[in-house]
Structure 1
Amino acid sequence: MATATLTGPLATHDGPPTHSYRLTAPSAEQNPKVARDMVASLLEAAGHGASVDAARLLVSELVTNVWQHADTCQLTVETTIDGASITVRVTDGDFRNTPPMPHSFPEVGDEHGRGLALVDALATRWGVTVHGGREPARKSVWFVLVDRSSAGGADHAEEPSR
């Protein structure tokens, strides 16, 4: 069963309120579509239409990576909209399978390996966070997009800390 959590605005700075949304779902074949559609709907509703295409692609890549590569039965997609900054975090329970940082795009004809290279090319910044200290329990791959077309175009987001 998938669950969605919607939180109210957070007062973190002067300017528009911060909104966070969370989808928890099984790691299953249909969930890249579910996750990208959810994030796209959130961004459209928040007035970030210019960022929808990039966000859809990157969310799809990260959720597909969980489904294909992580030894986990559940994933969480958290989207935080903070003014012009959009942070998306995809978390799974397989901290051992931490993705490598891409150094280049795969060769022409390669069937795999483009996901993180796309994230690197399209995101304002991105990274991997392992949670749990000495005894890691899960990891998140996150990215930030800054919608310069939205009001203010300010970049309030910092590296996610969860």
Structure 2
Amino acid sequence: MRLVDAEQGCGQARDFVRRALGDWALDHCSADALMVVTELAANAVLHAAPHATARSSAAGEPEIWLKLSLRRPAHLVCAVTDPSDSPPVYPHTSDPLDEHGRGLRIIDALSEHWGWTRRQPFGKTVWAMLPTGREV
């Protein structure tokens, strides 16, 4: 799903996740998946915005895509693609009063694995794998 704009992107992402998990009978995964997708989408919107002019849609918005997939029945993969070539930065130290810098820590805490992949000719996909509680 393409996230249309920065102001509504996180809300669109959450609605998409709720619908998909409901369709897949994975409602029990929704709390963690919603948090992870919100953080992935917020990071993409925040960090892709500087690249929007050179790598944007016809409307001038950065191209940000959300994809959910099941990797076998045991894992849900949440992935967000944005036009930024900069890798995600996991903060080594964080002041509890900082406004920013907790997103990847949250993703790390809620997922079994997370990472990122460089895209060609530009951009990246940041993904997180969450357990569904189903057997393989």
TM-score (norm 2): 0.83
Higher helix fraction (1 or 2): 2
Q: For residues 135-150 of structure 1, what are the structure 2 equivalents within 5 Å? A: 136-148=121-133, 150=134
Question: How many residues are matched?
Answer: 124
Deviation of residue 93 (structure 1)? 1.1
Say whether residues 1:87 and 2:77 are aligned partners. yes
Aligned to 1:127: 115
Identical counterparts, % of pairs: 32
**CA–CA distance in structure 1, aligned partners of residues 129 and 5 of structure 2:** 23
Q: Confirm or deny: 8 A CA contact 1:102 1:120 kept in the other structure.
A: no
Aligned to 2:64: 75
**Structure 1 counterpart SS, 2:39:** helix
**CA–CA distance in structure 2, aligned partners of residues 28 and 78 of structure 1:** 17
Q: Confirm or deny: 8 A CA contact 1:27 1:66 kept in the other structure.
A: no
Partner letter of residue 113 of structure 1? G
Aligned to 2:99: 111
Unaligned ranges ≥5, structure 1: 1-22, 155-162
Deviation of residue 27 (structure 1)? 4.0
Q: Confirm or deny: 8 A CA contact 2:47 2:84 kept in the other structure.
A: no
**CA–CA distance in structure 1, aligned partners of residues 80 and 5 of structure 2:** 11
Deviation of residue 53 (structure 1)? 0.5
Q: Deviations over 1:7-57 (max 9, x none)?
A: xxxxxxxxxxxxxxxx01334211111012201221122111221011101
Larger RCO (alpha carbons 8 Å, 6+ apart): 2
Q: Confirm or deny: 8 A CA contact 1:89 1:142 kept in the other structure.
A: yes
Partner letter of residue 69 of structure 2? T
Q: CA RMSD in A?
A: 1.5
Q: Confirm or deny: 8 A CA contact 2:10 2:42 kept in the other structure.
A: yes
Higher strand fraction (1 or 2): 1
**CA–CA distance in structure 1, aligned partners of residues 96 and 30 of structure 2:** 27
**Structure 2 counterpart SS, 1:52:** helix
